[in-house]
């Protein structure tokens, strides 16, 4: 792929001229942070560049295309599957200096932003104008729109509002070779030509570099309410999920926490649900949104659906408005720190199954946990079948490490047998790339490679990732 494993003097000069001062980094100390992402895998970049304009990206892409040098775009690198890791020698492109909000239009209901803007910052900005950008990956406070679009980030509100894909109207993309294409635009409906916009969404940096992104916004819902309910068994909790949907209710968010998660939360904090013999062994957390006047009625309806279903909660608590709701959601956010009470290491996956197969999936994962002798935490977005699976283990014990790896593979096989998917949110990156062929056929992958070649004929964009 590369002609050299280090830059020539000419190449070095070119980059230095294009990216003045500290926008061009080459020392090991400067590059340290750019070697890795949240996967903790590492690579060694030849150099790091920090463009501030599209023109710089154009020049860079023209040059890298000719020189056949791999490029690794990244923003905050919160990705857990090694998507941002420069596996082969190449140039890391940090988009963090391109973080402007170019335009938020309350009449068009669009925001045009540069890729490096932090999602939560954009959300605060538009919410102050009465507007709303629904996608809320767990990382929204630290991850960027560019990264969210590149991975088609999900989040809790996806049950009602869908994932990032549904909120991207267009993007400008610099291609290897330096040409710039305009995909989509500011229109909420647009059926002219093949849908290049959504092809970019979730493409994991393998096709080009986005220089700006146009997002669809909606009016901010007037109010929200939340309800947390505890059940005496996993079966009861999943029965309740089904009762709620069958009652015609589409919650904004519907989160789940399994028994093992409840146990470790109880070690970290004072939990609100009853414990012990008649306590909660599975918890659901709902959020609703809507108009202020209508919300109490909708909350009551949810309450009724839960009480009248086949499986009644052993406990519930509800709140209207962020002050009342916040304590319920705070518990949800403690799962990650609490998990380390179980074991120092985890293998995280975010498998997804068709919504109706959740119980089968979760029972199977419990069986795999029993067989492996390890604790497997299950929680997440059951509203859309998306389960976070943490295989807890002590990686300093080779036997545990091996059992954890075997358990991970068993979960994957189990999920695929249920016609689920390897990833609902995190993407493929490096860590799941070896397993993609178990889900995608040869011809599907051939087409994906050919599409990639249409954008990136020399395959310099984020090589080794995705498919």
Range 248-307, binding its own copies (CB under 8 A): 248-250, 290-291, 293-295, 297-298, 300-301
Q: Least distance to its own copies from the beta carbon of 150, Å?
A: 10
Q: Does 191 bind its own copies (CB under 8 A)?
A: yes
422: enclosing H helix or E strand? none
- With CB under 8 A as the contact rule, the residue among 94, 148, 151, 375 that binds its own copies is 151
With contacts defined by CB under 8 A, name the span among 22-30, 66-74, 190-198, 253-261 that binds its own copies: 190-198
Q: Least distance to its own copies from the beta carbon of 115, Å?
A: 18
Residue 190 DSSP symbol: -
62 CB contacts (<8 Å, ≥6 apart)? 177, 178
Q: Least distance to its own copies from the beta carbon of 97, Å?
A: 26
Sign of CA dihedral 198, 201, 203, 205: positive
Q: Least distance to its own copies from the beta carbon of 79, Å?
A: 11
**How many beta carbons lie within 10 A of that of residue 177, not counting itself?**
18
Which residues between 335 and 374 bind its own copies (CB under 8 A)?
352-357
Contact 280, 262 (CB under 8 A): yes
With contacts defined by CB under 8 A, name the span among 10-18, 70-78, 172-180, 362-370 that binds its own copies: 172-180
For residues 276 and 441, which CB has a smaller minimum distance to its own copies in the complex? 441
Q: Least distance to its own copies from the beta carbon of 137, Å?
A: 11
The three-state secondary structure class of 114 is: coil
For residues 47 and 295, which CB has a smaller minimum distance to its own copies in the complex? 295
- With CB under 8 A as the contact rule, the residue among 110, 149, 316, 368 that binds its own copies is 110
Sign of CA dihedral 73, 122, 110, 98: negative
56 is written with which tokens?
């710089």
For residues 157 and 393, which CB has a smaller minimum distance to its own copies in the complex? 157
For residues 267 and 419, which CB has a smaller minimum distance to its own copies in the complex? 419
254 CB contacts (<8 Å, ≥6 apart)? 159, 241, 244, 284, 285, 286, 287, 381, 382, 383
Q: Does 183 bind its own copies (CB under 8 A)?
A: yes
Counting other chains too, the contacts that 266-272 makes at CB distance below 8 Å and 24 or more residues apart are 267/338, 267/341, 268/334, 268/337, 268/338, 268/341, 269/331, 269/334, 269/338, 271/331, 272/228, 272/315, 272/317, 272/327, 272/328, 272/331
* Residue that has been written with the tokens 């993309």 in this structure: 173
Please state, in angstroms and rounded to a whole number, the distance separating the CA atoms of residues 316 and 231: 9
Q: Least distance to its own copies from the beta carbon of 364, Å?
A: 16
With contacts defined by CB under 8 A, name the span among 137-145, 147-155, 225-233, 324-332 that binds its own copies: 147-155
Instruction: Convert residues 413-442 into a mask of x (bound to its own copies by CB under 8 A) and - (unbound).
Output: ------xxxxxxxxxx---x---x--xxx-
Q: Does 106 bind its own copies (CB under 8 A)?
A: yes
């Amino acid at each position: 792929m590369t002609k050299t494993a280090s830059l020539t003097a000419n190449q070095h000069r070119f980059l230095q001229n294009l990216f003045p001062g500290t926008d061009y980094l080459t020392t090991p100390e400067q590059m340290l942070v750019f070697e890795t992402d949240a996967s903790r895998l590492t690579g060694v970049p030849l150099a790091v560049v920090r463009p501030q304009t599209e023109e710089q990206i154009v020049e860079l892409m023209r040059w890298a295309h000719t020189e056949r040098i791999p490029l690794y775009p990244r923003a905050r690198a919160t990705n857990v599957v090694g998507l941002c890791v420069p596996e082969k020698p190449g140039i890391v492109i940090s988009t963090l200096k391109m973080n402007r909000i170019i335009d938020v239009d309350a009449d068009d209901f669009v925001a045009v932003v540069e890729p490096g803007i932090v999602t939560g910052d954009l959300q605060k900005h538009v919410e102050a104008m009465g507007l709303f950008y629904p996608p809320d990956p767990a990382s929204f406070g630290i991850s960027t729109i560019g990264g969210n679009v590149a991975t088609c980030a999900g989040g809790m509100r996806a049950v009602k509002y869908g994932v990032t894909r549904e909120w991207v109207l267009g993007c400008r993309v610099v291609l290897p070779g330096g040409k710039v294409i305009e995909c989509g635009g500011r229109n909420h409906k647009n059926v002219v030509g093949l849908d290049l916009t959504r092809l970019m969404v979730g493409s994991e940096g393998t096709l080009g570099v986005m220089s700006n992104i146009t997002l669809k916004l909606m009016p901010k819902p007037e109010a929200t309410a939340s309800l947390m309910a505890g059940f005496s068994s996993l079966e009861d909790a999943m029965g309740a999920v089904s009762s709620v949907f069958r009652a015609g209710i589409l919650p904004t968010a519907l989160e789940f926490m399994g028994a093992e998660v409840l146990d470790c939360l109880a070690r970290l904090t004072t939990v609100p649900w009853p414990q012990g013999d008649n306590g909660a062994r599975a918890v659901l957390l709902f959020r609703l949104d809507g108009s202020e006047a209508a919300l109490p009625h909708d909350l009551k309806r949810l309450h009724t659906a839960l009480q009248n279903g086949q499986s009644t909660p052993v406990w519930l608590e509800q709140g209207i408005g962020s002050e009342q709701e916040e304590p319920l959601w705070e518990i949800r956010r403690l799962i990650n720190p609490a998990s380390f009470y179980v074991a120092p290491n985890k293998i995280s996956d975010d498998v997804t199954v068709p919504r109706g197969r959740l119980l089968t999936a979760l029972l199977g994962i419990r069986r795999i946990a029993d067989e492996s002798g390890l604790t497997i935490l299950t929680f997440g977005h059951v509203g859309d079948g998306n389960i976070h699976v943490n295989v807890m283990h002590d990686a300093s014990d080779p036997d545990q490490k091996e059992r954890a790896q075997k358990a991970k593979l068993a979960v994957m096989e189990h999920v695929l047998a249920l016609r689920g998917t390897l990833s609902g949110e995190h993407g493929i990156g490096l860590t799941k790339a070896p397993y993609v062929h178990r889900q995608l056929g040869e011809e599907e992958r051939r087409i994906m490679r050919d599409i990639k070649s249409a954008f990136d004929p020399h395959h310099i964009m984020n090589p080794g990732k995705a498919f």
